[in-house]
Structure 1
Amino acid sequence: MDRGGCQMSGGGGGGDGGPDRQGTMITLEDLESFSEDQPADSGNGSLEEEGETMEEDDERLLHYWQDVARGHQVEVDEEMSRPIQQLTSNNQGRSHREHIPFTLLTRKEKCGELLYEKRHYEKGHWACITLREDTYEQSICYGFMKIMRYICEQNSSGDYLGMTLPIVTVVRTDENHSVISNDVTVAYYLPAHHQAQPPPPQDNEIVLEIWPATIVYTRPFSGPTNEVTIINQINAMAELLDSPGVCVNDSFIVAGYTNPAHINRQNEIWFLERP
């Protein structure tokens, strides 16, 4: 698998990140809904029985995630059992997810409908991995599973780092915005308490980068993220901008807030203002 940088400032050598293989978001929403359906522990069993129950629950979680992932043509190996269990137990409820901070600069609306927002994101540390799979969706999902392992103890601190949203993918296109490159980078923003000194990953395919402060033009959209929908969203956004020439023309970000299997998945397309 190829690996490259993923600077938020975009440009020819920039990078990418996001999810439809994006098992990323599969983990959070689907696993939460699964765990909520499980019967509560009565607390009357022996330690041995409780241990057996926990092992059974972990196995069910893994099998559930594998079933969901197959719908995205993704295979999930047994090594993901521990990260899945950790991410599920540490993210019960959306209050446990930290959102990437930004300053809203302007909003453009028409007849009460939001066309796009202009935001300022501060400089920050991101963990990034660039993959080149057969499809955009597969690259996203396999990339997130590696990021997920990093979040869940495969880092120098050996601790669970915490989840942030959105998980982003940086996609590159040709100048006509008609074709997406197979190189896709999944990027995870380090939580605030790890920004000053992010723990290095054990996986050498994951790189820690400081993305510069950036102005972003962003528009929400719902539904799946794939090559077709992303191209459509890029072209729709380009038509709405008053001065599209101020933005990078061949590198864009897809930001995902909910899992890709969800019917009403919430996403954003981000255009990056030229430095």
Structure 2
Amino acid sequence: MDRGGCRLNGGGGSEANGSEPGSRPGMITLEDLESFTEDQLSDSGNGSLEEEGETMEEDEDPNRLLHYWQDIARGHQVEVPQDMSQPIQQLTSNNQGRSQREHIPFTLIARKEKCGDVLYEKRHYEKGHWACITVREDTYEQSICYGFMRIMRYICQQNSLGEYLGMTLPIVTVVHTDESHSVISHDVTVAYYLPTNHQAQPPQPLDSDIIIEVWPATIVYARAFTGATNEVTIINQLNTMAEVLDSPGVCVGDSFIVAGYTNPAHSNRQNEIWFLERQ
């Protein structure tokens, strides 16, 4: 795997106004830890993350979550190793309820609407510390999955403090395209915003490929979308965003963000595409 940085002129992350925009069955996100299969979701009522986490916590099979991850990943040529069982269980036990998930703060500058629909939001994000890993696998989806798993290990004790750090939303993926925005590189950077109580002194990763970086304050243009986040949908969303922006030329031309908020078991997954204003 390649090692690389991910400063905010090519990466950054957050959430829109307290909503929880997410991912897809091919993208194993940290929120998968509290997810069921479709049958399990229907059995649990409304399938809320809180209910799912509590039910998983009560389950007698300690590897149930690991098997769930493995089942999802198998269809996308991704292997979830046995040593992921402990991080998966740890995130589940430490994330009982949404109050335990810190949302990355931002200031809303403007919102463009048309016929009652929000076309995009213009936001300001402050400078902050991020844990980043740049990965290149055979496919775009594999790169995302393996990057997420390594960030997870960092969050769950594989850090200089040897303790669980806490979860923040969204987990973001920095993607790069060609000049025509028609091809996405398989080199992706997965990034995790350090919780507030670790911003001043970020714990150091034990994984040498994970880099702690300070991303500068920046302006982000964010557009929400629902459903899968594969190469086709991302390209479509990039082109749509370029069409609705008043001045797309003010944004970085070949680096974009996919921000994920909800888990892939939900039928109405929530995501955002971010364009980054040039520094």
Q: TM-score, normalised by structure 1?
A: 0.88
Identify the residue that residue 35 of structure 2 maps to in structure 1.
30
C-alpha contact 1:175 1:250 (8 A) present in aligned 2: yes
In the alignment, which residue of structure 2 is the partner of 1:111? 115
- Does the alignment pair 1:237 with 2:215? no
Query: How many Å apart are 1:25 and its aligned residue?
Result: 4.1
Percent of aligned positions that are identical: 76
Residue 179 (structure 2) aligned to one of 169, 175, 180? 175
Q: C-alpha separation between the residues in 1 aligned to 2:210 and 2:140?
A: 18
Larger radius of gyration: 1
- What residue is the counterpart of 1:45 in the other structure? none
Q: Say whether the 8 Å CA contact 1:15–1:184 is kept in structure 2.
A: no
Matches within 5 A, 1:73-92: 73-92=77-96
| 1:149-184 deviations in Å (ceiling 9; x for gaps) | 000000000010000000000000011100001100
Letter in 1 for 2:5: G
Q: Deviations over 1:205-262 (max 9, x none)?
A: 1010000001000000000101100000000000000100000010000000012343
CA displacement, residues 37-62 of structure 1 (integer Å, 9 cap, x when unaligned):
4595xxxxxxxxxxxxx8x5322222
Query: What pairs with 1:180-199 in structure 2 (closer than 5 Å)?
Result: 180-199=184-203
For 1:167 and 1:187, locate their aligned partners in 2 and report how far apart those are by CA, in whole Å: 6
User: Of the candidates 138, 142, 160, which is equivalent to residue 164 of structure 2?
Assistant: 160
250, 254, 273: which one pairs with 1:250?
Answer: 254
Give the direction of change, closer, same or farther, for the CA distance of 1:234–1:179 in structure 2 (3 Å limit). Answer: same
Distance 1:73 1:133 in 2: 11
Q: After TM superposition, give the deviation of residue 92 of structure 1 in Å.
A: 1.5
Q: Give the direction of change, closer, same or farther, for the CA distance of 1:122–1:15 in structure 2 (3 Å limit).
A: closer
Letter in 2 for 1:179: V
Deviation at 1:264, TM superposition (A): 1.0
SS in structure 2 opposite 1:224? coil
CA distance in 1 between counterparts of 2:264 and 2:6 reads 22
Aligned with residue 96 of structure 1, among 97, 100, 111:
100
Q: Distance in 1 between matches of 2:71 and 2:249?
A: 44
In the TM superposition, 1:201-216 aligns within 5 A as 201-216=205-220
Kept in 2, the 8 Å contact 1:162–1:191? The answer is yes
- Displacement of 1:19 in angstroms is 6.1
Instruction: Provide the residue aligned with 2:6 in structure 1.
Output: 6
From 205, 212, 228, the counterpart of 1:224:
228
Asked whether the equivalents of residues 103 and 120 of structure 1 are also in contact (C-alpha less than 8 Å), the reply is yes
Q: 1:57 aligns with which of 61, 76, 83?
A: 61
What secondary structure is seen at the aligned counterpart in 2 of 1:58? Answer: coil
Deviates more, 1:224-233 or 1:72-81: 72-81
Counterpart Cα distance in 2 of 1:262 and 1:220: 16
- Displacement, 1:74? 1.8
User: 2: distance between equivalents of 1:25 and 1:266?
Assistant: 14
Number of aligned residue pairs: 257
Structure 1 residues 125 and 197, CA, compared in 2 at 3 Å: closer, same or farther? Answer: same
Kept after mapping to 2: 8 A contact 1:25/1:257: no
The one-letter amino acid paired with 1:247 is C
Matched position secondary structure for 1:252: strand
1: distance between equivalents of 2:172 and 2:57?
A: 34
Cα distance in 1 for partners of 2:130, 2:27 equals 17
Gaps of 5+ in 1: 41-53
Cα deviation for residue 202 of structure 1 reads: 0.2
Contact 1:19 1:140 in 2 (8 A): no
Flag structure 2 segments of 5+ consecutive residues without an equivalent: 14-21, 37-48
